[in-house]
Amino acid sequence: MTDECVFCRIIRKEVPSQPIHEDHDLIAFPDKDPVAPVHVLVVPKEHMVNLNEAGIKDVPVLGKMLRLAARIANEMGVAESGYRVVINNGDDGGQVVPHLHLHLIGGKGLGAKLG
């Protein structure tokens, strides 16, 4: 963890959040600037800047992030209608906070299909 990282500060309970889920590896909480009715951030507690820093040892927590996103989508009622899972990586990828995190976005039509 780093002293200045806002997500590390949330993990240390120095910055208030409203956790939807928290365990040994992850914390999930609503995005402070939601782009949809459901917009949750899933954040690993171990600080890594982005996917480029993730190594083979991080594969279990990365998989756990995806499974947690699916579980929260189900709990929040957007699993059936559909939702988006996004990881912004680096400046050109739109990453604002330099701590790896996943956006779970749903609860409305999300526009153009990507694939």
Whether 101 sits among the annotated catalytic residues: the reply is yes
**Domain span including residue 62:** 6-106
Q: Is residue 56 part of a domain?
A: yes
Amino acid at 3: D
26: left (phi over 0), alpha (psi -120 to 50) or beta: beta
Q: CATH code at 36?
A: 3.30.428.10
Strands of 26-30's sheet in order across: 21-22, 26-30, 38-44, 102-106, 83-86
Instruction: Report the alpha-carbon distance of residue 25 to residue 20 in Å, rounded.
Output: 14
Instruction: Report the alpha-carbon distance of residue 109 to residue 47 in Å, rounded.
Output: 32
Counted domains in the chain: 1
Which residue positions in the chain have pLDDT lower than 70? 1, 113-115
Q: Which of 39, 99, 101, 103 is catalytic?
A: 101
φ and ψ at residue 22, rounded to 5 degrees: -155, 135
Q: Is residue 114 part of a domain?
A: no
Q: Is residue 34 part of a domain?
A: yes
Model's pTM, two decimal places? 0.93
